[in-house]
Structure 1
Amino acid sequence: MTAYMDHKDLANETISEERATQIRDGVHRVLDTIRLSEQQAGRESGSVQLLAATKTRDVGEIMAAIDAGVRMIGENRPQEVMAKAEGLQRLCAERGLNLGATDAAGSDHETVPFHLIGQLQANKIGKILPIVDTIESVDGLELAERIARRAVARDITVGVLLEVNESGEASKSGCEPSEAIELAEQIAAMDGLELRGLMTIGAHVNDEATIRAGFAHLRRTRDAILASKTPGTEHCTELSMGMTQDMTLAIEEGSTIVRVGTAIFGARAFI
């Protein structure tokens, strides 16, 4: 088990009004930044979704963010997904919301998508599939095939994003950019999966042109996949790119999902 999970009760549902206010203010600041960036980039209002990155945050903190207007959450670690799922699903239901992969057939309630945004080990796939609806960290055929087999066995469809290492940094996961189109077409053809888009993490450099170039290349790759009209690729519309530090650049280059944690919740007590 991850060390900080020995020290923090991630299933805790109770937070102070002061903490809830801090989170609400953080959500509103980030949403305002997104809307301003959309406007300045000449994009339609609402074309960019905020994903709250909830690593190390407990159920009470996450629900405060949802109450403040967050409508997509993402976890880095499968262990955290499993620790928080029951409380999150129950509290969302109390608010008339469906969370993630909850069976909501015929429901007219709004759904809060639940993404896995961190690396996924094969032995955790079966444990998270009843909970998350999208896995953003699919970086190759082997993992995609493993997820597809589990999905078919459960008679469900799992959304996936193909992770592309646009920066070329060894510390980052993802397929090579030159392989992305072929991999996307192969993944899109798999039963049990729906290829919903591409994901990348911006280059960790102090150079706007380099960061922007990676985002722009991912957008062109996405556009090429859609233009191919290969069966199964028609849903490959999402571009998950951009975090707090490079969010504006990502939005200018076409991001549809930006992932923000610290700007909403504050600095982590545990890592």
Structure 2
Amino acid sequence: MTETASGADDERTLLADRLAAVRARVAAACAAAGRDPRSVRVLLATKTVDAARVRAALAADASAVEADPSLAPVLIGENRVQELVAKGPDLADLAPVTHLIGPLQSNKVNAALRWVSCVESVESIALARRLSERCTDRAVPLAVLVQVNVSGEPTKHGVPHEAATDLAIAVAALPGLRLAGFMTVGLRSPDPVAVGAGYAALAALRDDVVASGAPGTAQARGLSMGMSGDLEIAVRHGATLVRVGSAVFGARPPL
């Protein structure tokens, strides 16, 4: 075996071990909350991760799913359209389910739609309308999540909590889109109670929208919340998708 091949095998083993650890954390959090672990999907946040490492992680995950068919394959999520477009061709043969989890400018909608099946970062009706215009003729509507700033932190993206219900109902009515739920980035705090309060608020918002009876809202049950450091808190409050990056790929290099 060449040194290069050995290094690639070591990397895949490391990623497989880290993925298994994340799945174990999710399963334990679900058990503590009395939830079925199959109700929570894992999304790999691949910001700054090169295509080769993403391929290695997907290969490791495929092996895990083959060994245990009860596992759902991981999804991948990109924060930046530029990275999404750059990595897309190198990952296309693997056909990963890819979400955009970062901000989307209107002039980049066409580029993003080539590669994603879900946009998690809808925070304005203007963006939603732009997506709708591009997706009206699609055979399958584009899944979207309304991003909500539950913490109120000025550094966070997302519609303010008090405006989120009206935005969600408006988005749900647009042709070519399917409102699949809500996304948030949790409060940056060492206080688990404060972090959990934000996640609970998003879950309550989701429940209100689903119960509203407004067109297109009945299936908006998804909650994308929780990351490497706080996924247990998010699962406790009903997360259906947790976004993990550093727990699998390690700390991001300084910019």
How high is the TM-score relative to the length of structure 1? 0.84
- Residues 126-160 of structure 1: CA distance to partner in whole angstroms, max 9, x if unpaired? 01112100001100111111111111265652111
The reply to whether residue 233 of structure 1 matches residue 221 of structure 2 is no
Aligned residues of 2:103 and 2:121 also touching (Cα < 8 A): yes
Aligned residues: 239
The structure with the greater share of residues assigned to helix is 2
The residue aligned with 2:159 is: 175
Structure 1: segments with no counterpart, 5+ residues:
1-14, 93-98, 100-111
Between the aligned partners of 2:10 and 2:190, the Cα distance in structure 1 is 35
Match of 2:170 in 1: 186
Does residue 221 (structure 1) correspond to residue 205 (structure 2)? The answer is yes
| Separation in structure 2 between the aligned mates of residue 240 and residue 155 of structure 1, nearest angstrom | 25
Letter in 2 for 1:86: P
Deviations 1:36-64 (A, max 9, x none): 11111110121111000011112221122
Q: Which residue of 2 aligns with 1:20?
A: 12
Tell me, yes or no, if structure 1 residue 88 matches structure 2 residue 91: yes
In structure 2, the residue matched to 1:12 is none
CA contact (8 A) 1:148 1:191 kept: yes
1:125 pairs with one of 109, 115, 129: 109
Task: Tell me the distance in 2 between the aligned counterparts of 1:115 and 1:255.
Answer: 16
Partner deviation per Cα, 1:106-127 (whole Å, 9 max, x = no partner)? xxxxxx4210000111111001
Three-state SS of the structure 1 residue aligned to 2:38 is coil
The two structures have a TM-score, normalised by structure 2, of 0.89
The runs of at least 4 consecutive aligned structure 1 residues that moved more than 3 Å come to 153-156
1:77 aligns with 2:69: no
Match of 1:51 in 2: 43
* Cα distance in 2, alignment partners of residues 45 and 235 from structure 1: 20
CA positional deviation for 1:270: 5.5
Output the amino acid matched with 2:165: I
Alpha-carbon RMSD:
1.6
User: 1:225 & 1:154 partners in 2: Cα distance?
Assistant: 25
Report the AA paired with residue 206 of structure 1. P
* Percentage of identical aligned residues: 40
Alpha carbons 1:56, 1:270 under 8 Å: kept? no
1:200, CA displacement in angstroms? Answer: 0.6
Counterpart residue number, 2:54 = 62
Q: Distance in 1 between matches of 2:49 and 2:254?
A: 9
- Greater Cα offset, 62-71 or 210-219: 62-71
CA shift for structure 1 position 213: 0.6
The code of the aligned residue for 1:162 comes to V
In structure 1, what is the equivalent of residue 66 of structure 2? none
Is contact 2:206–2:221 with CA below 8 Å preserved after alignment? yes
Structure 2 distance, partners of 1:232, 1:154, is 17
Secondary structure at 1:135 match in 2: strand
Unmatched segments (≥5 aa) in structure 2: 1-6, 62-72
Measured against aligned partners, the alpha-carbon deviations of 1:90-111 in whole angstroms (never above 9, x if no partner) come to 1x1xxxxxx3xxxxxxxxxxxx
Give the C-alpha shift of residue 268 in structure 1. Answer: 2.4
Distance in 2 between the 1:270 and 1:236 partners? 36
| Other structure's SS at 1:245 match | coil
* Amino acid of the structure 2 residue aligned with 1:61: R
2:92 maps to a residue whose letter is Q
Partner Cα separation in structure 2 for residue 113 and residue 45 of structure 1: 20
Question: Any conservation in 1 of the 2:122–2:144 contact (CA below 8 Å)?
Answer: yes
Does residue 200 in structure 1 map to residue 203 in structure 2?
A: no
* Contact 2:12 2:56 (8 Å CA) reproduced: yes
Instruction: Judge conservation of contact 1:51–1:73 (CA < 8 Å) in 2.
Output: yes
Find the counterpart in structure 1 of residue 30 from structure 2.
Answer: 38
Q: Check conservation: 2:26, 2:37, Cα contact below 8 A.
A: no
The corresponding residue for 1:7 is: none
Aligned residue runs from structure 1 range 134-149, under 5 A: 134-149=118-133
Q: What secondary structure does 2:223 align onto?
A: strand
